[in-house]
């Protein structure tokens, strides 16, 4: 039985291996870069870090009663910090239950600005609500909203 | 030889990835107001829907501007009186100096009642404005209505 012992030369093998390594590295790098870019940025750093710089004061105000005799409230917000607030999430907090009552998007409260937002039959007297800020970050070339953690929120009792 | 090439390429690629990732999480020097900024309100007058007052710089730093807000007592929402002129311009408020406000129109106060006036200072840090959230001066005021004879 005759064996053919000829193979690729050591130089070709080296070039092939280097090429494979370079291509693999490029693929991993591009994949990882995409992963990093998908994380939102704000002011040149991770968007979640900007959440800790959001400073706002909030209050609830009884404006009157509707035709059915139900209390009507408005949510007052003042942005006292240096980060614009893109939106808000109002969460109702009860024993063993947290429920999103209202989501307010695109109504940016610029730095130093005050806003009043009507809450129509969405809250009731004695209820505890948590106001969680949403900020706008950048993901690649597009803008993306980011909802901050509950710890940065403002707890109110109606 | 191949082993060296592989190790170096992998090390460089990993370093770039780790650097790009960590760069996002490094703290950056965002403009933050100085701790020793302090202002006080003085000589407030509120009559017939018109408010005027003095701002005294009681801190250690120059104050470049302020958000002047007024609203119903006990309510968070307040109307900004000086939206068009937030900054003092060339006449920055130096420590110890008193700034006399112009007369601001506040129609909600024309009927009289209890209100709250608040002033939040703004300082420029590295040419960027920074709001001082811990140096807000608040004062409860009573607006009066003078009957014209």
Give me the residue spans of the domains in chain A.
Answer: 45-157
pLDDT of residue A34: 67
ipTM of the complex: 0.77
pLDDT of residue A2: 60
Test the A interface: residue of B77, B82, B117, B132 with most A CBs within 10 Å: B77
Residues of B near A (Cβ–Cβ under 8 Å) read 1-2, 5-6, 9-10, 13, 16-17, 20-21, 24-28, 30-32, 67, 69, 71, 75-80, 86, 120, 122, 130-131, 133, 136
Confidence of residue A9 (pLDDT cuts 50, 70, 90): confident
Burial of A41 (0-12, 13-18, 19+ CB in 10 A): buried
Task: For Cα atoms B32, B61, A44, give the angle at the middle one, nearest 5 degrees.
Answer: 15
Q: Could you name the CATH architecture of A45-157?
A: Sandwich (2.60)
In a domain, B9, yes or no: no
pLDDT of residue B38: 92
Encode B19-84 in three state secondary structure: HHHHHHHCCCCCCCCCCCCCEEEEEEEEECCEEEEEEEECCCCCECEEEEEEEECCCCCCEECCCC
Q: What is the CATH number of the domain that holds B93?
A: 2.60.40.2060
In a domain, B68, yes or no: yes
Give the three-state DSSP class for A142. strand
pTM for the whole structure: 0.76
pLDDT of residue A153: 87
Rounded CA separation A145/B33 (Å): 26
Maximum mean pLDDT: which of A25-29, B56-60, B81-85: B56-60
Terminal-to-terminal C-alpha distance of chain B? 102
Domains held by chain B: number:
1
Q: From A20, which residue of chain B is nearest by alpha-carbon distance?
A: B6
Is the pLDDT score of B83 beyond 60?
A: yes
The mean pLDDT of chain B is 86
In a domain, B94, yes or no: yes
What residue numbers bound the domain in which B80 lies?
39-143
């Amino acid at each position: 039985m005759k064996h053919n012992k000829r193979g690729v030369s050591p130089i070709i093998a080296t070039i092939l291996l280097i090429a494979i390594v370079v291509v693999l590295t490029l693929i991993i790098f591009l994949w990882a870069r995409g992963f990093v870019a998908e994380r939102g940025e704000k002011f040149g750093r991770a968007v979640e870090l900007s959440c800790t710089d959001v400073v706002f004061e909030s209050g609830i105000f009884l404006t009157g009663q509707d035709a059915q005799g139900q209390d009507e409230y408005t949510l007052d917000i003042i942005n006292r910090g240096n980060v614009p607030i893109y939106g808000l999430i109002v969460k109702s907090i009860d024993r063993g239950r947290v429920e999103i009552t209202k989501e307010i998007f695109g109504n940016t409260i610029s730095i130093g600005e005050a806003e009043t937002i009507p809450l129509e039959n969405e809250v009731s007297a004695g209820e505890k609500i948590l106001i969680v800020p949403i900020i706008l970050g950048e993901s690649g070339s597009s803008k993306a909203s980011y909802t901050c953690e509950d710890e940065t929120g403002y707890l109110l009792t109606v | 030889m191949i082993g060296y090439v592989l190790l170096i390429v992998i090390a460089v690629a990993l370093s770039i990835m780790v650097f790009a990732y960590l760069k996002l999480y490094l703290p950056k020097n965002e403009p933050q107001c100085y701790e020793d900024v302090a202002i006080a309100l003085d000589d407030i007058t509120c009559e017939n829907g018109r408010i005027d007052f003095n701002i005294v710089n009681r801190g250690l730093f120059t104050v470049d501007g302020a958000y002047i807000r007024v609203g119903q007592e006990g309510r968070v929402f307040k109307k900004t009186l000086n939206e068009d002129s937030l900054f003092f311009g060339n006449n920055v408020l130096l420590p110890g100096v008193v700034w006399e406000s112009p007369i601001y129109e506040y129609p909600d106060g024309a009927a009289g009642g209890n209100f709250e006036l608040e002033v939040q200072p703004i300082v420029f840090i590295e040419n960027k404005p920074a709001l001082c959230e811990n140096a807000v001066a608040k004062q409860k005021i009573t607006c009066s209505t003078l009957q014209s004879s």
